[in-house]
Amino acid sequence: MIDELSNKFEERFGEISAYLDFLDGIEAVVRSGVPRIGDGNNFVVTTQQQRILYSGVYLQLYNLVEASITSCLDAVSKAAMEAARWTPGDLTNELRREWVKHVARTNIDMGADKRLEEALVLCDHLVAALPVDPFDIDKGGGGNWDDAAIFRIADRIGCRLDISATAKSGVKRKIRNDLGAMALIVHLRNKLAHGNLSFAECGQDDGVQDLRALSNNVAAYLREVVQAFIKYIKEHQYLRPERRPANQANA
């Protein structure tokens, strides 16, 4: 599961790269003169169509961001219940909070009696000293996964993100509307999703070279995020220090 994180990320990013290669071909045809494609040269590429195609990159990039974070969080929860090996008491305070939130459903509005039932489920689990059972880490996000949101959720579970200065500056540098790469993707994705912006309007200021640079900057940042989560899992940083296998072996 851990090794799959990096592979899945590269596969997803490969799809975006392939799409950008396609857009490169379209742009080359348009620049060559009459914007026609196909052996019969019967299909004319309009400016509107080109802009619509460009706007699709923003949706694909947001999909990459959310898919990457979802995969990382799923991998953490699966590691915590590895072979029924760990109990809630073995988890760090940060991850135990996430487990309690899931089991006791503390983030859901409910009546007093129902709240008591959920508390008893949690109590029974702890009294019986049962291992950590399957749970989901509440992502939140709600369509707003930029670099700040990624940092917050990593910090929430105790995963340290040591992002290089180069990768960080690549997504922080203002490129449009006083927004960096990640924030711009969220901004445009939400405007498209809520109907506040047409696809043609979204892609009107872009060229393939700009979109490729944007994609590479986002990928460089996310690649380091994924590696940070892989390290977090491999080093059992979701466990209390004294319960981590490496520390127990040295005790």
Give residue 217's pLDDT: 97
Contact assessment for residue 203 and residue 167, using Cβ atoms and an 8 Å cutoff: no
pLDDT given for residue 34 in this prediction: 62
Distance CA 101, CA 139 (A): 12
DSSP SS3 for 132: coil
| Per-residue pLDDT reduced to its tens digit, 6-20 | 999 999 999 999 999
Residue 195 lies in a domain: yes
**The pLDDT value given to residue 37:** 62
Higher pLDDT, 12 or 39: 12
pLDDT tens per residue, range 90-132: 999 999 999 888 888 877 787 888 888 878 888 878 877 788 8
Please give the single-letter amino acid code of residue 224.
Answer: E
CB 189 within 8 A of CB 59: yes
Range of the domain at 181: 2-83+144-250
CA–CA separation, 35 and 231 (whole Å): 49
In a domain, 105, yes or no: no
Q: Which of 98-102, 120-124, 134-138, 149-153 has the highest mean pLDDT?
A: 149-153
- Total domains, the chain: 1
Residue 143 pLDDT: 67
Residue 97 lies in a domain: no
